[in-house]
Amino acid sequence: MLDVGKWPMFALLPPQDLCSIRLACVFGMSGNETLYVTENDEVFTLGTNCSGCLGTGDIQSTIEPRKIEILCGKRITHLSYGSGPHVVLTTSDGDVYAWGNNGYSQLGNGTATQGLAPCQVSTNLQHKKVIEVACGSHHSMTLTSDGEVYAWGYNNCGQVGSGSTSNQPTPRRVSSCLQDKFIITIACGQSSSMAVLDNGVVYGWGYNGNGQLGLGSNGNQPTPCRLAALQGIHVCQIVCGYAHALALTDEGLLYSWGSNAYGQLGSGVKSNQSCPIQIMVDRERVVEIAACHPTHTSAAKTQCGQVYMWGQCRGQSVILPHLTHFTRTDDVFACFATPAVTWRLLSVESDNHLTVAQSMKKEFDSTATSDLKFLVDGKTLHAHKAVLKIRCEHLRSMLHDEDVIEIDQFSYPVYRAFLEYLYTDSVNLPPEDAIGLLDLAAFYGENSLKTICEQTIKQGISVENAITLLSAAIKYQAKILPVSRVIPAFCVIKVDHLYIHGLKHTVKYWFSASV
């Protein structure tokens, strides 16, 4: 379990408050600002309050935690911060809030006025669900659930990706060559931005004076540019330090590029690299990488749980990955980074006492431990052969020595839901897609899954989707469409005496739509 007491800021809290913390972040130019979320979803901040970054509505420093009422109960899921400092976060509902320094419009509210309290960022995001946020020193980015990136703030080097160097006062979609691409993760350096596509391709834009975009040159880029040096390499995670970047592939390989004055690339020398280079961590498979733009420190965790650090570590330059006694990359930044900040929103929940069911759910579609990939509709799903053989008789007979299997008879949402069911015993699909999953369940001989699908469809039938469900049933040639109720309404559209065969008896369907 993470010990937040390793960050000096938490030494100000009494033990009973420390025990209540569920999420936490330490930020600021000197690591002197703190935000934390309690188990009952209350949000508190304390610290020096530079530029009003504590969100308390004033600029008063405090060593006593102050509650931020507007954020309580919002279920914060992701948070990032700039060095102004400013803070940007998103909630489980996909809403975005920002506050703090706003000298370059990095709060996205269309002004350059300091934000002393959290305010929702809504321009161009009101109909979007944001799942990830990232901040450079004075610019901000968000990633939406439909794979789009929006950016705003300081743009002197093109870090907003708009094609110009004019500051961007409100969120604007980063399009250009990303227009039709699906982004899965984003990261920011001091004045640079990175994005990873669902096919593992990496793009970078913004300041490139130290080669931190990995393009093989040192010229700034005002629009996203693909990292050609990573051609054929599937990147699944990317992080940025002040002027360097680390990338992790789906095979557990680690690459780095950019500034190297403190050895933060882990290459064994201090010369900058404008092209990605592979870094060896004692020939271990890497499962997590860590860096953040206020520091020149890097860290990585291997599959066997060992944590390595390199770069600027307590004033020393460590030029090769150095094995630590830590069990989490977070501890590297608490004990050795300057300033002692957090590289991500900390989760204080313990990973050491998960039930079997919780452990299985946690490993679904995990790139860290999987040994099998499914390609469906051009997208990748990660799985574990042993789990699939245990859980599904059909897959047991189907799986042999393959590492990659292409699936063309089922859609991506349907096959993802099927694999998730094998890991969790639950189905999370709209009734329209549940018909496709019902078809899969019948084909694979999964009777329990068929029952769950039938219940999902029954519970999801409404006047609005009845015709859609019927069309889906015909499309999938479902042998069972378990509709057990008639929807009474004043009929404008009425499908009367329509029969679908395949049950022990014939089921009669009456679908109607009200005006």
**CB atoms near residue 441 (< 10 Å):** 24
Amino acid in position 308? Y
Q: Return the percentage of the chain with pLDDT > 70, whole number.
A: 89
The residue whose two tokens read 């709209």 is 430
Instruction: Report whether 244 contacts 188 (CB < 8 A).
Output: no
Between the alpha carbon of residue 156 and those of residues 84, 166, 220, 221, 298, the distances in Å are: 16, 7, 10, 11, 26
b/e code 9-41 from CB counts within 10 Å (16+ = b): bbeebeeeebebbbbbbbbbbebbbbbbbbeee
Indicate whether 488 pLDDT > 70: no
The sheet carrying 235-240 orders its strands as 235-240, 244-249, 254-258, 273-279
Residue 27 has φ and ψ, to the nearest 5°, of -145, -170
CATH superfamily, domain 356-472, is Potassium Channel Kv1.1; Chain A (3.30.710.10)
Q: How confident is the model at residue 407 (pLDDT cuts 50, 70, 90)?
A: very high
Q: How many Å apart are CA 341 and CA 91, to the nearest integer?
A: 22
**CB atoms near residue 488 (< 10 Å):** 10
pLDDT at 491: 34
Partners of residue 381 on adjacent β-strands: 374
pLDDT digit string, tens, across residues 34-68: 999 999 999 999 999 999 999 999 999 999 999 99
Indicate whether 500 pLDDT > 60: no
Mean of the pLDDT values across residues 222-233? 97
What are the sequence ranges of the domains in the chain?
233-353, 356-472
List the Cα angle 59/240/280 in 5-degree steps.
Answer: 145
Kindly tell me the burial class for residue 367, based on how many C-beta atoms sit within 10 Å of its own C-beta (0-12, 13-18, 19 or more): middle
Q: How many Å apart are CA 223 and CA 277, to the nearest integer?
A: 23
The contacts of residue 415 (CB under 8 Å, 6+ apart) are 374, 376, 381, 407, 440
pLDDT at 359: 85
Q: How many Å apart are CA 515 and CA 381, to the nearest integer?
A: 42
SS3 509: strand
Q: How confident is the model at residue 214 (pLDDT cuts 50, 70, 90)?
A: very high
Kindly tell me the burial class for residue 408, based on how many C-beta atoms sit within 10 Å of its own C-beta (0-12, 13-18, 19 or more): exposed
Mean of the pLDDT values across residues 19-34? 93
List the Cα angle 484/489/491 in 5-degree steps.
Answer: 110
Instruction: Report whether 300 contacts 289 (CB < 8 A).
Output: yes
Whole-number mean pLDDT of the chain?
Answer: 88
pLDDT at 19: 87
Mean of the pLDDT values across residues 208-218? 98
What secondary structure letter does DSSP report for 105?
S
pLDDT at 508: 37
Indicate whether 492 pLDDT > 50: no
pLDDT digit string, tens, across residues 240-290: 999 999 999 999 999 999 999 999 999 999 999 999 999 999 888 999 999
Q: How confident is the model at residue 355 (pLDDT cuts 50, 70, 90)?
A: confident
Q: How far is CA 506 from the centre of its chain?
A: 47
What secondary structure letter does DSSP report for 263?
S
Q: How many Å apart are CA 414 and CA 7, to the nearest integer?
A: 44
pLDDT digit string, tens, across residues 424-481: 998 888 877 888 898 899 899 999 998 888 888 877 777 777 777 776 666 655 544 4
pTM, whole model, 2 decimals? 0.71
Ranking 33-37, 190-194, 339-343, 349-353 by mean pLDDT, the lowest is 349-353
85 prior amide bond cis, ω within 30: yes
